[in-house]
Amino acid sequence: MLFTEKTAAEKRVALRAALASGHLLRFPGAHAPIVAMEAERHGFEGIYISGAALSADLGLPDIGLTTLPEVVQRGRQIARVTSLPALIDVDTGFGEAMNAARTIQELEELGLAGCHLEDQVNPKRCGHLDNKVLVARDEMVRKIRAAVGARRDANFLIMARTDARASEGMTAAIDRARAYVDAGADAIFPEAMQDAGEFETFRKAVPVPLLANITEFGKTPLLTAKQLADIGYNIVIYPVTTLRLAMKAVRDGLAEIAATGTQTGVLDRMQTRKELYDLIRYEDYNRFDRSVFNFRI
C-alpha cells in the first residue's frame, strides 16, 4: 500500500520498452504524489516531475533556486505512489560534471525512471523566456558523459535538453543535440519549438527518442497528441498543467469564501471526501489495520 508493487527497475524496463514501441507516451506533470495517483487512473503512460512546478510549489521562481535534496526527495515521494515510470527535471544537474554524476546516482537510488539535464548556465531561466544563456557545447558534452558514466542501471533514461533554439537558432540546436547523443544521451528534449514544422525538422535530424514540451502560455503551440504522434515524437509532457488547474480552482474557491463567508457555493467544484478516500485507498489501510490489531484484552 505505502509503495507501488512495481519496483523501480521494473518501471525503467517498462519505459524502455514503451519508447521502443513507436507509440507516443503521454506524461502529465505531477507536483505532488496525489496528482500522480490521479494521472495513473486516467490511463497516462508516465509521470513528469517539472522543475518549474516544484519551484512554484515552494513559492519560488524557476531560476535554479531548488537544491538537489529538495528535488530528488520530492521525486521519490511522487515516483513511489504510482506504477508508472517517472521522468524528472533536474535543471542543470546541480553543478558541474561531478555534481551531475552524483545527481544520477541519487535519482536511481530513489526510484526515478529517468531525468533530463539542460544546457543553460546557472542560474537558469524558464525555457519559454527570452535571454537564456547556454554553456559551451563541449561543457555540456562533458556533463552528459559524466552522467552516463555514473549510471548503474543501464535502463535509467538520461535525456539531454537543449535550449539553443531561442538563443542560437535551429541549426545550432540540432548540432548540439547530435553532440549530446554522441556523448551518450538516450533521448533529446528540444525546448521551445515554435511550430509543427520545427518539431518535424528536429525529428528528421535527430535519430533518438524525442520529447515534446506542450506547456501553456509559452512559445510552443498546443499541438495535439495525434499531431505529435504523426510527426514521430516519443514523449509529450504537460509539465505545469495540473498545477495551473489546481491553483486556479484554489484562487476561485478562496475568493468565494472571502466574499460570501461560506464555501457552499463551490462545493460542486470540490473533490468529495469519498473520492479522496477512494484515491488514497483509505479502506485498504483500514483492512490492514484490522488484520494486525485483531486481538482482545
In CATH, the architecture of 8-240 is Alpha-Beta Barrel (3.20)
Q: What is the mean pLDDT of the chain?
A: 94
Residue 95 has pLDDT above 90, yes or no: yes
Whether 286 is a known active-site residue: answer no
Question: What pLDDT shows up at residue 132?
Answer: 76
Say whether 62 is catalytic: yes
Q: Are 111 and 67 in contact (CB under 8 A)?
A: no
For range 78-95, the mean pLDDT: 97
Whether 161 sits among the annotated catalytic residues: the reply is yes
Q: Residue 97: which pLDDT band, with cuts at 50, 70 and 90?
A: very high
Average confidence (pLDDT) over 34-46: 98
Amino acid at 117: L
User: Per-domain residue ranges for the chain?
Assistant: 8-240, 247-292
Q: Is 116 a catalytic residue?
A: yes
**Predicted pLDDT at 130:** 64
Q: What is the pLDDT of residue 16?
A: 98
48 catalytic per annotation? yes
Candidate list 45, 118, 119, 186, residue with the active-site label: 118
Q: What CA–CA distance (Å, rounded) separates 88 from 111?
A: 11
> Is 294 part of the annotated catalytic residue set?
no
Region 237-259: what's the mean pLDDT?
A: 98
Determine the length of the chain: 297
Give residue-wise pLDDT tens across range 116-169.
Answer: 999 999 766 665 666 679 999 999 999 999 999 999 999 999 999 999 999 899
Please give the pLDDT value at position 170: 96
Looking up cell 515510470 gives: 85
Confidence at residue 290, expressed as pLDDT on a 0 to 100 scale: 78
Q: What is the pLDDT of residue 234?
A: 98
| Catalytic-residue membership of 268 | no
Which entry of 116, 125, 128, 176 is annotated as an active-site residue? 116
Give the per-residue pLDDT at 287: 86
Residues 12, 128, 161, 176: which is the catalytic one?
Answer: 161
- Give the span between the Cα atoms of 81 and 67, in whole angstroms: 22
